[in-house]
Structure 1
Amino acid sequence: MSGAPTISSLSSLFAQRVVVGVGDMAVSNNTGTMLSTYALGSCIGVIAYDPGAKCGGILHLMLPEASVSPQKAQTQPAMFADTGLPLFFKGLVGLKAERARLKLFVAGGASVLSGQDPFKIGERNTRATLDFINQNRLNVIKTETGGSVNRTVHLELNTGNVNLISPLGKLNISLA
């Protein structure tokens, strides 16, 4: 049958993509899963992977402090750095990730508004995230923050590979 699709492996039948929306997070130990988040502008994407436990996750946080909207923080804690980061790492530890083995990639924090951004949300998100990571002595492999372009990130849980796509090009990082 010409034109029929071919399947390269049985595992590809069961592979799935989980899209992490703005102000949300996902953690998984399903090696048939790819986690993705799109259009990181001033938002920050924290991508974490534990090569020993073969688990990882993506947090797509939007604002540095939950104090701007305590009610929203109750229903959507991943939206804020100060409530989302602890929740994200607690979820990873629940999948048997060990903080000492975790490898992180941090992306986003851009200033995507034309002209001056008086609120400096991208900068504040970056600072809040990196401060938390440093205080908790977590291992950041690479950061791709600042600038004025949005970024899309994909994490392959079977390999620990991260693919970042932006208008400036593609970047591949291994967290394995």
Structure 2
Amino acid sequence: MNVIRVGMADLGTATSPDSLRTTGLGSCVGIALFDPKAKVAGLAHIMLPTAASADEKNRAKYANTAVPLLIQLMEQKGAIKRRIIAKLAGGAQMFTFAGQSDLMRIGPRNVEAVKLALSALTIPITAEDTGGNCGRTIELSGSDGALVIRTAKQGVTTI
């Protein structure tokens, strides 16, 4: 079994028995996708809600461009879109400031954008661990789609 690392503003895919791991999810969101029949997993670590233009070079950085790209890469490994399910983690509000504008709500805005992107492609969200004010490390199993979430404050949980 290999653990494939997914960096910030990055994405990757894996098949059973391999898994995918990303660290440093603060306001970023980890989008964990899984096709249980094909046992194909996909993980994206998005930083921002939407790309400024369609010409954006790093599609993995934004919710609206990472989700379709990740599904496309999973399909190349045998996944079928109608079987894919999603789990989300991250989207924390790491810092608060007096008189904070909506632009500073990066974590919640990221979560909203991911949900919109998944909804547009009819991908159901089966579980999530989003919000709060602490960072997360996640690992997605390519065998069963289990998403292990590690935080300094809440310890380890699996969704």
TM-score of the two chains, using structure 1 as the length reference: 0.81
**Structure 2 portions without partners, runs of 5+:** none
Q: Which runs of 4+ in 1 moved over 4 A?
A: none
- Map 1:34-113; keep pairs closer than 5 Å: 34-67=19-52, 73-74=56-57, 76-113=58-95
Q: Which amino acid aligns with 1:171?
A: T
Work out the number of aligned pairs and report it.
Answer: 155
Are residues 1:141 and 2:126 paired? yes
- SS for the counterpart of 1:66 is coil
Correspondence for 1:155 among 140, 153, 157: 140
Q: Which amino acid aligns with 2:157?
A: L
Looking at structure 2, the residues matched to 91 and 53 of structure 1 have their Cα atoms a distance apart, in angstroms, of 13
Rg bigger for which structure?
Answer: 1
Looking at structure 2, the residues matched to 162 and 124 of structure 1 have their Cα atoms a distance apart, in angstroms, of 22
Q: Deviations over 1:65-98 (max 9, x none)?
A: 110x777x31x21001122111111111111211
Q: Among all aligned residue pairs of Structure 1 and Structure 2, give the percentage whose two residues are the same amino acid.
A: 30
**Structure 1 portions without partners, runs of 5+:** 1-14
Determine which structure has greater relative contact order: mean sequence separation of CA pairs < 8 Å that are 6+ residues apart, divided by chain length. Answer: 2
- Map 1:121-136; keep pairs closer than 5 Å: 121-136=106-121
